[in-house]
Structure 1
Amino acid sequence: MTGQQELAQQSSPEAGRLELFDDVDDIEDYPDGGGEAWTVVFGAWCAMIPSMGLLNTVGVLQAWVWTHQLRDYTEFDIGWIFGLYGFFLYVTGAQVGPIFDAHDVRLTIVPSEYYQFLLTFGVLGGLSASCQFTPAIATIGHWFSKRRALATGIACTAGGTGGIIFPLIILYAAPVIGYGWAIRIVGFICLIAGVLACWLLRKRLPHNKKAGASIDLKALKDRNYALTTLAVWLVEFAVFIPYTYISSYAIYQGVEPQHAYRLSALLNAGAIPGRALPGYVADRFGYFNVMCITSFTCATFIFALWLTSGASEAAITAFAVIFGFWSGAAISLTPVCIGQVCKTEDYGKRSGTTFSISSLAVLVSIPIAGAIVNASGGAFTGLIVFAGASYMAAFLAFLLTRIVAAGWSWRIQF
């Protein structure tokens, strides 16, 4: 970058943002709005009801089976069940992403149903969820550039919506009609959402027939992309620990189980604006800039509020809502950060590769957190410290990526 270019960036943040995008795509070619583009966003929202909605329900599912069907198993054992769901959701992105790049989106969006068997939830549910999540995110990248973070954030509010509806169904329907039928009701909702996603989602750019269904490890030679993948890995490792264990923590502290289960719904209620608003802000101030802020804020609240909450139901509830809001960016902005450092025609494969690598983080973080609880004799202090340290590592990774890719000047919208 020449001195004149750097001076222009410092004098005009928007100019700096445009130059950074010039190496990737011509952002003027994108509709960035209009009826067809926002219809695609709604289709992506429908696709994320089954995928991210169920992922955000693992907290109440984990607490339910811990106190009911699997009461004789350890937190470590139960953690693998729900880690598998996130693992398969992300790891198959390396196959689904390139298929999306090369073919029509309807070949990858598959309506799904989820039944009462938890192993089926982890494996079959995760595989089918990946066929919805990955192309839904990539399709938005075909229609939006300047407003990509906002559009992605709006679509990702489906995860929070599902994370409210599904726990309430389990909480209130399972005691009346049984756990199995409560899960089947969730499955029927997922089926309807999947059909709508098939109908509404469509690509805008030509198919990339050169796409190959594999993890593109060679892409990691790109320094900016490699650092972005590391940052996404760390934040995905951190984010699902509070999501999974907040209800179990409350039960351990003596909170009435019904109230403890509702914490998952409250956390996701906070996540709905927490996924849309950061996108709106990020489109104006930079995706990585906002990820740095939200990651640091999450680490701060874990240490300052969750760690000190004790048996106070008010404090635990406050943390659930606040963390839900600030953690929303970890879901809605990570795909946009990947899109910032790659070409749109490669977005499906690059995002699939990143989330496939990150699948290992999702797979092991929940069981490791459970193992920490077991090693602590059932206490959650070690788990909370572990979650906070993980989020702080994610903050440092996003900060490093932002500095390496765009320099020290915060006036550049990166």
Structure 2
Amino acid sequence: MSTPLPSDKTATQAFKSALQPIKSTGDPGDANHLDAQDFPEGGFTAWGTALGAFLIQFCGFGYTSAYGVYEDFYTQTYLTNSTPSAIAWIGSVNAFLILSVGLISGRMLDRGAFYHVMKIGCLLQCFFLFMLSLAKPNGYYQIFLSQGIGSGFAIGLTNVPSLAVVSHHFQRRRAFMMAFVVAGASMGAILHPIMLNNLINGRLGFANGVRASAGLISGLLFIAYLLMRTRLPPQPKAVSYTRVLQNSLRDPAYVCACLGMAAFEVGFFSESFFLQLDSSLHGLGQTFSFYSLTILSAGSFIGRLTAGIISAYVGIPNTIIGYSSISSIVLFTMIGLRSVASVALIGISYGYFAGGCIAMMAPLISYLTPEISDIGVRMGIAFAISGAPICGAVLTSHYIWWKPAVFAGVN
């Protein structure tokens, strides 16, 4: 998350200028001084790492993006004593921790602890999913602790390193390969809702349905861990967050990128969390409502893959500006959601443009990072300050749908 990008002189020059201090000094321990041709741009290890990172995103953010299934099930069946806002906070805290824990895991990648972080993160993710299956009806805090805090922290340990490690193997194709990796989240968001809806709402019920999904996640995470490999040596001394932060604050482009990412993330999850519930409460049929998230995620998958290609021609910043602007406009159309056609149109269009925007965030931070050794830290900082999705508080228990649509669209 693959075919090579078309050779593009502008994109190549942009990446070279973004990674300027890469002239060989002959010191193999200096990760800042790698010549462009030192990046393999392919080979079994590089492609295997990309595939492993794809699976990490499939099991991590892909599973979180299917929280709309849980939101619908909790609201109408399992947590009937809790308000939609309180239930939405489970997914919101989960998503926030996935991003903010990157501040820790990104630094660990730079320090050479990639395999330890990935091992702990994968094991904890499996553990907390199995713990979720033990939660009882109306056991809000059991679910909040296991799914909201536990799973969020575990996925956060693997999220940033799985994105940043791709930079060890690719330079010219980096934007496309990162877009390919984050497309794994969209693929997960396509398949997980189908699986969860049929398992949880089917014969297995909540407990066995969650255990079945946890078994699948466990197997895929094990494969991903075996596939991924680092290539650059660890930094000889700890990267100073103070130094990186001071340098970053003096970089207007990086500051603007972080603020933009924070604003975008506030509203990004509104559709993922509420599209299924919205269509269900509007009487569009249970079967169609079950597949509304799949429609959204299918658009996101296409958007994430094509964004990597489009960015090679128009540039990463221009791609993000265009995609985020259109996705904001589409969010306002949630006010008019009334029919099957409107759900399908909104889902596929928002998924495409919002997914493309998300796909370009990691490449943008990489593009704006002058020293490759700081990529893990800079990504961690950028993701850590990303806004938490809080549209559930705006929705209220009275289901006033236009409020979260406007709030998310403005952001």
Query: Does TM, normalized by the shorter one, top 0.5?
Result: yes
Paired residues of 2:98 and 2:155 also in contact (CA < 8 A): yes
Q: Which moved more, 1:187-196 or 1:206-215?
A: 206-215
Of 389, 400, 410, the match for 2:410:
389
Alpha-carbon distance between aligned partners in 1 of 2:189 and 2:358, rounded to the nearest angstrom: 13
Aligned residue in 2 for 1:68: 77
- The offset of 1:93, in angstroms, is 0.9
Q: Which moved more, 1:348-357 or 1:222-231?
A: 222-231
Aligned residue in 1 for 2:381: 353
Partner amino acid, structure 1, of 2:156: S
Paired residues of 1:104 and 1:203 also in contact (CA < 8 A): no
Alpha-carbon distance between aligned partners in 1 of 2:250 and 2:11, rounded to the nearest angstrom: 28
Paired residues of 1:63 and 1:261 also in contact (CA < 8 A): no
Of 49, 60, 66, the match for 2:58:
49
What is the root-mean-square deviation of aligned Cα atoms in Å? Answer: 2.1
Note the alpha carbon deviations across 1:204-223, whole angstroms, 9 max, x for none: 21111433596864333332
Structural mapping, 1:271-350, within 5 Å: 271-303=300-332, 305-309=333-337, 311-342=338-369, 343-350=371-378
Contiguous gaps of at least 5 residues in structure 1: 1-11, 391-414
- The offset of 1:48, in angstroms, is 1.2
Paired residues of 2:319 and 2:357 also in contact (CA < 8 A): no
Aligned residue in 2 for 1:163: 189
Kindly tell me: are residues 24 and 159 of structure 1, through their superposed partners in 2, closer, same or farther at Cα, counting changes over 3 Å? farther
Kindly tell me: are residues 18 and 196 of structure 1, through their superposed partners in 2, closer, same or farther at Cα, counting changes over 3 Å? closer
Kindly tell me: are residues 24 and 251 of structure 1, through their superposed partners in 2, closer, same or farther at Cα, counting changes over 3 Å? farther
Q: TM-score, normalised to structure 1's length?
A: 0.84
SS of equivalent residue, structure 2 residue 306: helix
Q: Within the alignment, does 1:84 sit opposite 2:102 as a pair?
A: no
Paired residues of 1:150 and 1:279 also in contact (CA < 8 A): yes
Kindly tell me: are residues 333 and 24 of structure 1, through their superposed partners in 2, closer, same or farther at Cα, counting changes over 3 Å? farther
Aligned residue in 2 for 1:20: 17
Kindly tell me: are residues 24 and 255 of structure 1, through their superposed partners in 2, closer, same or farther at Cα, counting changes over 3 Å? farther
- The offset of 1:20, in angstroms, is 3.3
- The offset of 1:171, in angstroms, is 1.1
Q: Within the alignment, does 1:371 sit opposite 2:393 as a pair?
A: yes
Of 204, 209, 215, the match for 1:177:
204
Structural mapping, 1:200-215, within 5 Å: 200-211=227-238
Q: TM-score, normalised to structure 2's length?
A: 0.85
Paired residues of 1:56 and 1:243 also in contact (CA < 8 A): yes
Q: Within the alignment, does 1:124 sit opposite 2:150 as a pair?
A: yes
Of 180, 195, 203, the match for 1:154:
180
Report the identity percentage.
22
Note the alpha carbon deviations across 1:35-81, whole angstroms, 9 max, x for none: 32111100101111221111111111111111111123212111111
- The offset of 1:19, in angstroms, is 6.2
Paired residues of 2:112 and 2:233 also in contact (CA < 8 A): no
Kindly tell me: are residues 15 and 166 of structure 1, through their superposed partners in 2, closer, same or farther at Cα, counting changes over 3 Å? closer
Paired residues of 2:11 and 2:315 also in contact (CA < 8 A): no
Paired residues of 1:372 and 1:382 also in contact (CA < 8 A): yes
Partner amino acid, structure 1, of 2:56: A
Kindly tell me: are residues 278 and 103 of structure 1, through their superposed partners in 2, closer, same or farther at Cα, counting changes over 3 Å? same
Note the alpha carbon deviations across 1:319-362, whole angstroms, 9 max, x for none: 1122111111233211111111112111111111111111xx12
Paired residues of 2:102 and 2:381 also in contact (CA < 8 A): yes
Kindly tell me: are residues 234 and 187 of structure 1, through their superposed partners in 2, closer, same or farther at Cα, counting changes over 3 Å? same
SS of equivalent residue, structure 2 residue 382: helix
Paired residues of 2:59 and 2:188 also in contact (CA < 8 A): yes
Note the alpha carbon deviations across 1:148-191, whole angstroms, 9 max, x for none: 12111111121122112221122112220111111111111111
Alpha-carbon distance between aligned partners in 1 of 2:195 and 2:12, rounded to the nearest angstrom: 49
Of 265, 268, 285, the match for 2:294:
265
- The offset of 1:15, in angstroms, is 7.7
Alpha-carbon distance between aligned partners in 2 of 1:15 and 1:256, rounded to the nearest angstrom: 49
Q: Within the alignment, does 1:232 sit opposite 2:241 as a pair?
A: no
Contiguous gaps of at least 5 residues in structure 2: 1-8, 23-34, 136-142
- The offset of 1:252, in angstroms, is 2.5
Kindly tell me: are residues 335 and 264 of structure 1, through their superposed partners in 2, closer, same or farther at Cα, counting changes over 3 Å? same
Of 129, 132, 135, the match for 2:161:
135
Paired residues of 1:101 and 1:346 also in contact (CA < 8 A): yes
Alpha-carbon distance between aligned partners in 2 of 1:320 and 1:253, rounded to the nearest angstrom: 15
Alpha-carbon distance between aligned partners in 2 of 1:297 and 1:254, rounded to the nearest angstrom: 28
Of 56, 78, 98, the match for 2:107:
98
Aligned residue in 2 for 1:223: 252
Paired residues of 2:102 and 2:384 also in contact (CA < 8 A): yes
Partner amino acid, structure 2, of 1:71: T
Aligned residue in 1 for 2:6: none
